[in-house]
Structure 1
Amino acid sequence: MSSYDIAEAIRERLPGTEELFVQYLSGYLVDDAAEDEDALAVARHMLSSVCLGRANADSVLDSLMTRLTDLLSDLLSARATRTGAGAGKQKLQRLDRVLDMRATGAGMSATIAFAEGVDLESINKGKASRVDVKKLEKQEAKLRAKIEKRARRDLYEGSKLLKEQKNKQSYEEMFMKVNPLQSAADARNKSKDIHLPSIDVSFGSNRILSGASLTLAHGRRYGLIGRNGVGKSTLLRHIAMRDVPIPPHITILFVEQEIIGDETTALDSVLKADVWRDHLLKEEVALNARLAALEREEGDAERAAEDAKDEVSERLAEVHARLAEMDAASGPARAAALLAGLGFSESDQARQTKSFSGGWRMRLALARALFVKPALLLLDEPSNHIDLNALAWLEDYLQTWPGTLLVVSHDRAFLDAVATDIVHQHSGRLDYYKGNFTQFYSTKSERERNLRREYEAQIEYRKHLQAFIDRWRYNANRAAQAQSKIKILEKLPELTPPEAEDTETFRFPETEKIAPPLLQLSEVTFGYDAAKTILNRVNFDVGLDSRIAIVGSNGAGKSTLIKLLTGDLTPLAGQVNRNGRLRVGYFAQHHVETLIPTMNPVQFLASKFPGRTEQEYRSHLGNFQISGMTGLQPIGTLSGGQKSRVAFAVLSMLRPHVLLLDEPTNHLDLEGLDALMIALKEWNGGVIVISHDERFITTVARELWVCADGTVSKFRGDVQAYKNLIVNNIKARP
């Protein structure tokens, strides 16, 4: 019996139940059924609320509880055995003195609360009762409320967060609430450094940080790193909502989700992001209109209007001063420059936001944040949503960011270019390192080596002491020395081994050799109509030894090229030559959409490649670090990095000759990225990759091809040279 069996029983009888509820309840029953006599009662109470409004609710609930009781029979039997033995022992106990309830405290009160049917009055007859009856009644009331309390605890912590997400305030309301308007003079007089010596951060019942120190010096750029699932994004959300006590004069903006598309143009969307600027400009228009109306007043009304005019003029002067402080007049020019840097042409800037894809809306969200220029800017994986061209511009732009930056990223080259400090989140704490990622890695490695050496030296010292004690403790001449060594050994602090280094391994199965040509594009032209071609007369050759990275701006045709290679698209002209035995593994940029969220990884592999045992599927998933119970969790509950690992496991089951990878690094943490790079370097098949990750490209690829101006051509230089070219071209624009 496992939590998976219980979860399946709930899903089967109550389809459509919130997955968070199912996961919590199944885990609770497995953990608590053996210890808590109320576990099934608590479960029934929770499930009854889910059954409300369903047909045959009572019979469905009864059937489900019967099934849960059967599944938990072993745990319930074990509890009954223990409680029965405990009851037997209790009969042999003898109370030979009166207990002072005030002295025994809450622990004894809780024990007596369970003693139903005990006649306290007869027990204490002839003696002065020391039981506080009111306290006892309160304790009994607490017991009766136990089920309700259980039902309201951790499970609905997570549900509360989901409700807040669904019913969240508008961007404008949230911005004004989190960042109240203040004068520039007031803000200048206050420190924008953040130092919180002890913060706790939780998501539901999961403690993310405990007593951690949050220290962010104004003007520094911090890269926040850590394993998938450690809670980096949760920490950013808590900071953004001031759930940790960030000083109120420090403005905060968090770029997490793409903007909601509507009729607003891209340029206006960026301008409206600075809510107070937009609010004051609207107020300025209203005040000017009011002033013009008062100017037209005549006669008696004119005299009455004078006072109102003075009041309006005074407020208008305040508004003008505030707008001047925030340099409102330069807003359109600044917004246009930001959008241009992120790849929006002049015509794109005039398009409605609803016409853009999700990736471009994420760029808009990024442009809006950069336009606002908050004192503390929070970015969550900004490089996931932009191409190498925009990434090169963003790196260059952020290097002169005037405020404090806290960015979550797994892109080492991005962190090397942008970060002045690294924050390592792990084991419920935050560790700080000066310098960029390369310096962090060097410092951390040296620190770990020193800790390992110190630990090993301590082990040897203790072994030496113990050997002396074992040899001489029973020798009369050396007994005193042995006793001295024993005291030294006893006083030594408890020795904690250094944390094991996080490593992962991926493995692609070796592929058999097939004769060239494997895959060729000869003079291929493609467009969705003959009038407008995307790629024109492209020549491209793929072999088993190919290690090619394709770069270029979004919309230039990179993904189109990949789809021509996979055969998903047919060219308008030219020829595609493919070896008849060729197997191609395609990792799409939006691979998560191809996974079925209700299936677990084992079931998904079995649906794609039937005929093998469960152990074979689990063993194969283990090649990509999907092991243990993770292989039996619904895919919908896995993190982005875990879903990527499942997608790679599916690809490798094809035993491909060539891998076509479109942004494969987006969701992988640093350890997963290292594992993927090593696996691809060791693999004997061909690799074509579209990526914005400089280190990944440099490690995996031997050739760099640029997709631009309707064609694909080999670039004579490395990734850094290409990025420098992009930045220089952007800066050279008028």
Structure 2
Amino acid sequence: MLKTVNLTKRFGNRILFENINIKLDRHKRYGLIGANGAGKTTFLNILSGQNKEYEGEVIIGSGLKVGTLGQNQFAYENYTIMDAVLYGNKRLYDAVKEKEELYTTGDFEDDAVNDRLAELEMICVEEDPTYEYEINIAKILENVGISAEHHHDLMSSLKSSDKFKVLLAQVLFPKPDILFLDEPTNNLDIETISWLEDELQRHEGTLVVISHDRHFLNAVVTHILDVDYQKIREFTGNYDDWYIAANVIAKQMEADNAKKLKEKEDLEAFVRRFSANASKAKQATSRQKQLEKLNIEEIKPSSRRDPSIVFKPKRQMGDEALLVENVSHSYGDLQVLKDMTFRVEPGEKIALIGGNGVGKTTLCKIIMEELKPTSGEVHWGATIEQSYFPQDTTDQIKGTGTLYEWLRGFDPKRDISEIRNCLGRMLFSGEQQEKSVEKISGGEKHRMMLSKMMLEQGNFLILDEPSNHLDLEAIVALGEGLYNFDGNVICISHDRELLDAFANRIIEIFPGGKYIDFKGTYEEYAEAKHNGTLEYAN
């Protein structure tokens, strides 16, 4: 359905990838993975035709419909939500709108008008044979969390996260033959991500998706495209299959190189020993020729680097950690929290989950005493020292100082080497530590906030969506860091692999303030929820 011929992309002297020759087939779903900056989004934009600056060819089968998840959330502000989704099928959208205009203003005694209406009707039949486009759009919108009473509201009335959901609905609605998705799970809650997984598993064409959600990749993709070594290598299977295969390949390369290196050393020793001996000169010359032919490939360092996330509390906590007592909160007439009461015992690690807008961030702000609840109280244990990762991290990390200076500003007496070592563990090299804070990316800001938390050495961690902007390697490292942490955790996340990694208690908040408090892992919670054995705590 799609193939590339000698595809090469450069940025100045830097080569992102070169001479890429791959063929993407129908009924296959490809996960495009690689380190941040490796070129995943660039490659996807080239395939989808959004980036024309490259060498080589991209060939797409004749007559195939291509769908690309839009990234401009403000492109349809004056459209209704329903029309913004319909626009995903531009031919149908134009025909429907022209029909509506002619039925409103047209002269039906004019043969030209009637002929044009007949033509438009044929287009509508071709694009929507069952005349169900409105029903289909409504179903998709409801599945991504936009209720029916808002479908005819203007896009400008939506918050940014909901605009992204409409863009997702827009690209799914026409059922394109080739579908390109860049981080489609952003701003989606766990229930909606599960729905999207089911939808994509039924996709009959070709799918290429970028995601940092390991669970999502494992559920959806049949193949992996790995952007690394300035190449794009294809593996059969999901992300976990790739991970095993990639590690086996790396070990094989290492073993092969070690064998070749030993052979080279033996040959070099023989040449040195016998090249001056006339009786052995012929053998030495033969060995020298063998040595010249011996190709010892240096194992290229992967563009992936694993951060080292280690949280070590400087203070041992006592018997009391946290008590949230009868907490309720409303924004005007909208109640998001209602009579929440729970005690956190030392060592408990809580995954705080729920749909967008149900009050998870509000609860974290109340717990951190940044927001006063409408009613209720929060009581911290006397030995507790909190460390907080807020949702708006990218807005909070600002200024003109260097990364090192920003961190040192929180503790001027901290040993210089500790700060630099901490930044190094989060993959900031010595040179990068001198970068200005205002010039770093969202992912780098998240790694900076994790560096700050490690330096703070709190014994109770509160994290609000820490995995946003992080690559897969960093998310895995974060999960390990939280699992190994000897203290308490409350973490908001929609990343199920991260939740599975550390949580031993689940609190899910529902619209209107209802909540479930479950002691167990996320996997155990999901099973209990599926079996219908859970009850609200209020």
Distance in 2 (CA, whole Å) between partners of 1:430 and 1:597 is 38
Distance in 2 (CA, whole Å) between partners of 1:721 and 1:351 is 39
Q: Hey, what does 1:478 align to over in structure 2?
A: 280
Distance in 1 (CA, whole Å) between partners of 2:39 and 2:115 is 49
- Check 1:405–1:509 CA distance in 2 against 1; reply closer, same or farther (3 A cut): same
Q: Is the Cα contact below 8 Å between 1:521 and 1:575 reproduced in 2?
A: yes
Distance in 1 (CA, whole Å) between partners of 2:524 and 2:419 is 43
| Superposition deviation, residue 315 in structure 1 | 4.3
Residue 88 (structure 2) pairs with residue 270 (structure 1): no
Q: 1:425 aligns with which of 227, 230, 234?
A: 227
**Match runs of 1:704-715 below 5 Å:** 704-709=506-511, 710-715=513-518
Distance in 1 (CA, whole Å) between partners of 2:387 and 2:527 is 32
Q: Alignment identity in percent? A: 29
Q: Hey, what does 2:465 align to over in structure 1?
A: 663
Q: Hey, what does 2:409 align to over in structure 1?
A: 607
1:405-429 CA distance string (max 9 Å, x none): 1111111110000101100001221
Q: Hey, what does 1:322 align to over in structure 2?
A: 123
TM superposition score normalised by structure 1: 0.66
Q: Is the Cα contact below 8 Å between 2:309 and 2:477 reproduced in 1?
A: yes
**Match runs of 1:76-87 below 5 Å:** none
1:226-282 CA distance string (max 9 Å, x none): 001112112222333262634363333322425216354322322233222111112
Distance in 2 (CA, whole Å) between partners of 1:685 and 1:716 is 17
Q: Is the Cα contact below 8 Å between 2:500 and 2:523 reproduced in 1?
A: no
Distance in 1 (CA, whole Å) between partners of 2:381 and 2:490 is 17
- Check 1:620–1:492 CA distance in 2 against 1; reply closer, same or farther (3 A cut): closer
Q: Is the Cα contact below 8 Å between 1:548 and 1:688 reproduced in 2?
A: yes
Q: Hey, what does 1:245 align to over in structure 2?
A: 58
Greater relative CO, 1 or 2 (CA 8 Å, sep 6+): 2
Q: 1:582 aligns with which of 377, 380, 384?
A: 384
Residue 308 (structure 2) pairs with residue 505 (structure 1): yes
Q: Hey, what does 1:209 align to over in structure 2?
A: 17
Q: Hey, what does 1:436 align to over in structure 2?
A: 238
| Superposition deviation, residue 359 in structure 1 | 1.3
Q: Hey, what does 1:146 align to over in structure 2?
A: none
Q: Is the Cα contact below 8 Å between 1:203 and 1:234 reproduced in 2?
A: no
Residue 31 (structure 2) pairs with residue 223 (structure 1): yes
Q: Is the Cα contact below 8 Å between 2:328 and 2:376 reproduced in 1?
A: yes
Look at both structures and tell me which one has the larger radius of gyration over its CA atoms: 1
- Check 1:702–1:238 CA distance in 2 against 1; reply closer, same or farther (3 A cut): same
Higher strand share: 2
**Match runs of 1:43-192 below 5 Å:** none
Q: 1:701 aligns with which of 503, 515, 537?
A: 503
Aligned residues: 522
The amino acid that maps onto 1:515 is G
Distance in 1 (CA, whole Å) between partners of 2:400 and 2:154 is 35
The amino acid that maps onto 2:36 is N
**Match runs of 1:681-692 below 5 Å:** 681-692=483-494
Residue 95 (structure 2) pairs with residue 280 (structure 1): yes
Q: 2:208 aligns with which of 393, 397, 406?
A: 406
CA RMSD of aligned residues (A): 2.7
- Check 1:332–1:276 CA distance in 2 against 1; reply closer, same or farther (3 A cut): same
Mean CA deviation greater in 681-690 or 631-640: 631-640
1:384-439 CA distance string (max 9 Å, x none): 22111211111111110122211111111100001011000012211001111111
1:658-707 CA distance string (max 9 Å, x none): 11111111111122122222222222221111111111111111222221
The amino acid that maps onto 2:475 is L
Q: Is the Cα contact below 8 Å between 2:315 and 2:458 reproduced in 1?
A: no
Q: Is the Cα contact below 8 Å between 1:259 and 1:361 reproduced in 2?
A: yes
Unaligned stretches of 5+ in structure 2? 533-538
Q: Is the Cα contact below 8 Å between 1:600 and 1:634 reproduced in 2?
A: yes
Mean CA deviation greater in 408-417 or 539-548: 539-548
Q: Hey, what does 1:29 align to over in structure 2?
A: none
Distance in 2 (CA, whole Å) between partners of 1:280 and 1:722 is 48
Distance in 2 (CA, whole Å) between partners of 1:537 and 1:270 is 39
Higher helix share: 1
Distance in 2 (CA, whole Å) between partners of 1:424 and 1:488 is 35
Q: Is the Cα contact below 8 Å between 2:2 and 2:58 reproduced in 1?
A: no
1:625-679 CA distance string (max 9 Å, x none): 2222211112333233212111111223332121111111111112212222222
- Check 1:527–1:283 CA distance in 2 against 1; reply closer, same or farther (3 A cut): closer
Q: 2:331 aligns with which of 495, 503, 528?
A: 528
Q: Is the Cα contact below 8 Å between 1:388 and 1:723 reproduced in 2?
A: no
Q: Hey, what does 2:536 align to over in structure 1?
A: none
TM superposition score normalised by structure 2: 0.89
Mean CA deviation greater in 435-444 or 283-292: 283-292
The amino acid that maps onto 1:638 is I
| Superposition deviation, residue 570 in structure 1 | 2.1
1:130-184 CA distance string (max 9 Å, x none): xxxxxxxxxxxxxxxxxxxxxxxxxxxxxxxxxxxxxxxxxxxxxxxxxxxxxxx
1:326-365 CA distance string (max 9 Å, x none): 1172111111111111112223434432222211111111
Tell me the SS of whatever aligns to 2:341: strand
- Check 1:722–1:274 CA distance in 2 against 1; reply closer, same or farther (3 A cut): farther
Distance in 2 (CA, whole Å) between partners of 1:393 and 1:625 is 35
- Check 1:609–1:584 CA distance in 2 against 1; reply closer, same or farther (3 A cut): same
Q: Hey, what does 1:122 align to over in structure 2?
A: none
The amino acid that maps onto 2:123 is R
**Match runs of 1:335-350 below 5 Å:** 335-350=137-152
The amino acid that maps onto 1:199 is L
Distance in 1 (CA, whole Å) between partners of 2:104 and 2:70 is 38
Distance in 2 (CA, whole Å) between partners of 1:258 and 1:726 is 36
Residue 487 (structure 2) pairs with residue 674 (structure 1): no
- Check 1:256–1:283 CA distance in 2 against 1; reply closer, same or farther (3 A cut): closer
Mean CA deviation greater in 538-547 or 198-207: 198-207
Q: Hey, what does 1:235 align to over in structure 2?
A: 43
Tell me the SS of whatever aligns to 1:385: coil
- Check 1:352–1:381 CA distance in 2 against 1; reply closer, same or farther (3 A cut): same
TM superposition outliers: structure 1 runs of 4+ over 4 Å: 203-206, 286-291, 311-315, 611-616, 720-729
Residue 256 (structure 2) pairs with residue 461 (structure 1): no
Residue 60 (structure 2) pairs with residue 257 (structure 1): no
Unaligned stretches of 5+ in structure 1? 1-192, 296-308, 730-734
Q: Is the Cα contact below 8 Å between 2:503 and 2:522 reproduced in 1?
A: no
1:24-71 CA distance string (max 9 Å, x none): xxxxxxxxxxxxxxxxxxxxxxxxxxxxxxxxxxxxxxxxxxxxxxxx
- Check 1:523–1:283 CA distance in 2 against 1; reply closer, same or farther (3 A cut): closer
Distance in 2 (CA, whole Å) between partners of 1:204 and 1:465 is 42
Distance in 1 (CA, whole Å) between partners of 2:417 and 2:232 is 38
Mean CA deviation greater in 410-419 or 438-447: 438-447
Q: Is the Cα contact below 8 Å between 2:318 and 2:383 reproduced in 1?
A: no
The amino acid that maps onto 2:2 is I
| Superposition deviation, residue 366 in structure 1 | 0.9
- Check 1:502–1:649 CA distance in 2 against 1; reply closer, same or farther (3 A cut): closer
| Superposition deviation, residue 511 in structure 1 | 2.8
Q: Is the Cα contact below 8 Å between 1:198 and 1:214 reproduced in 2?
A: no
Q: Hey, what does 2:350 align to over in structure 1?
A: 548
Q: 1:538 aligns with which of 329, 340, 346?
A: 340
Distance in 2 (CA, whole Å) between partners of 1:430 and 1:706 is 40
Residue 7 (structure 2) pairs with residue 194 (structure 1): no
Tell me the SS of whatever aligns to 2:255: helix
Q: Is the Cα contact below 8 Å between 2:505 and 2:522 reproduced in 1?
A: no
